[in-house]
Amino acid sequence: MKNITKILFLLLIVGCGSDTGSKIISSSGVIDPNTGSGGTGGNNGGNNGDSATDLNVELISNYNDNTASFSTVFGNYTRSFIVHTPPNYDPTNDPIPLLFVLHGYTGQAPSIRIYSGFDGIADEENFIVVYVQGVTDITNNTGWNVNVVSTFNEVDDVGLFSALIKYFKGNYNIADDKIFSTGMSLGGFMSYRLACELDEINSIGSVTGSMSAYYNCVPPNQKSIIHFHGTSDTVVPYNGNSWSYNVENAHSFWANYNNCQNQSEVTVPDFNGDGIYSTQLISYGCDGSREVVLYTMQDEGHTWFKKDWGHDLDTSRLIWEFFKNK
């Protein structure tokens, strides 16, 4: 009974909700939390480029003139996603960027659409944003296959995103070199996995989600990374644990992979006036003009950081400012 209780507790802290039946999967090799090496466990999935599956996409409903939800069947699951196109989008003009936004464990695509506010930023900056819905498992929780929760272990999420990229490139005027992903909590874990597996992903952002310690990351090419994490996060601990990579070591993994030669740390302005200062760690001078950025949010917890919510910065705005120059 104690072992069952421990498993359920671990599941509770994986994401933004509770779980009553899943378990942490085993791995034949866990990434060394100090060096970033090792790790042979976990399922790989998906295809890249033209070999990706052609999707049969159907309209579900229209939110407004620029936003609609769609569904498609992929890998024996019905998958859904919300697409927002900027009002000035013209497929005959220059190609524009594509951004995937991923919810956390037990989360929903419509919810992260509202609290992230990327629709408004897309309207200002002229990019397409897609909020993808994770699969609902046998315990009625939603999530992603990042080799942490076993009930998602057979879901080919990487393959889905490969197919979605092919679909959007074929049906919208997308800039091939401007495809990005970001997410909250488990959605951040999934964005990291896409960086590890899909060469078409230019850069990723993560908010309170790290890299899975049950997954061996062998990136197909170099990526820029931006990550936001609270030091008091009790859901996905800043210092990592048995299933989640230490946040600073995740930063080091990508800085080393990108062959970054320089590093600097600056203090984030105390916008909310609480006297607590967060920091921004930047690794630069990397191959291919890549950057790896870590915002360490002092004494903050498991949340999407917004000035309107009393935080010192606006996560969504900073993520896009980072992506747009990549």
Residues 6+ apart with CB under 8 A from 254: 223, 225, 283, 292
* Predicted confidence (pLDDT) at residue 27 exceeds the cutoff of 80: no
Q: How far apart are CA 300 and CA 229, in angstroms?
A: 8
Antiparallel, parallel or unpaired: β 174-184 and 203-207: parallel
Query: Which pair of tokens denotes residue 66?
Result: 């620029």
**What's the pLDDT at 51?**
65
* Predicted confidence (pLDDT) at residue 128 exceeds the cutoff of 80: yes
Q: What pTM does this model have?
A: 0.86
* Predicted confidence (pLDDT) at residue 135 exceeds the cutoff of 70: yes
**What's the pLDDT at 214?**
84
**What's the pLDDT at 233?**
98
Q: Are 157 and 144 in contact (CB under 8 A)?
A: yes
Which one is predicted more confidently, 174 or 10? 174
* Predicted confidence (pLDDT) at residue 12 exceeds the cutoff of 60: no
* Predicted confidence (pLDDT) at residue 15 exceeds the cutoff of 60: no
* Predicted confidence (pLDDT) at residue 131 exceeds the cutoff of 70: yes
**What's the pLDDT at 174?**
98
* Predicted confidence (pLDDT) at residue 28 exceeds the cutoff of 90: no
Antiparallel, parallel or unpaired: β 142-143 and 128-132: unpaired
Which one is predicted more confidently, 58 or 10? 58
3-state DSSP assignment of residue 66:
coil
DSSP 91-112: TTSS-EEEEEEE--TT--HHHH
* Predicted confidence (pLDDT) at residue 129 exceeds the cutoff of 80: yes
Mean pLDDT of 237-248: 95
* Predicted confidence (pLDDT) at residue 26 exceeds the cutoff of 80: no
**What's the pLDDT at 215?**
81
The per-residue pLDDT for range 276-301, each reduced to its tens digit, is 999 999 999 999 999 999 999 999 99
Q: Could you tell me if residue 140 is left (phi over 0), alpha (psi between -120 and 50 degrees) or otherwise beta?
A: left
Mean pLDDT of 136-164: 94
Please state the domain extents for the chain. 2-26+49-324
**What's the pLDDT at 50?**
52
Q: Percentage of the chain surpassing pLDDT 70? A: 84
- CA angle, residues 287, 289, 291, in degrees to nearest 5: 95
**What's the pLDDT at 148?**
87
CATH class of this structure's domain 2-26+49-324: alpha beta
Query: Which pair of tokens denotes residue 72?
Result: 């498609």
Q: How far apart are CA 97 and CA 165, in angstroms?
A: 11
The per-residue pLDDT for range 248-279, each reduced to its tens digit, is 999 999 999 999 999 999 999 999 999 999 99
Average pLDDT, the chain: 87
* Predicted confidence (pLDDT) at residue 37 exceeds the cutoff of 90: no
* Predicted confidence (pLDDT) at residue 7 exceeds the cutoff of 80: no
The per-residue pLDDT for range 68-101, each reduced to its tens digit, is 999 999 999 999 999 999 999 999 999 999 999 9
* Predicted confidence (pLDDT) at residue 42 exceeds the cutoff of 60: no
3-state DSSP assignment of residue 248:
helix
Q: Which DSSP helix (H) or strand (E) runs through 319?
A: helix 315-324
How many Cβ atoms from other residues are within 10 Å of residue 255's Cβ?
26
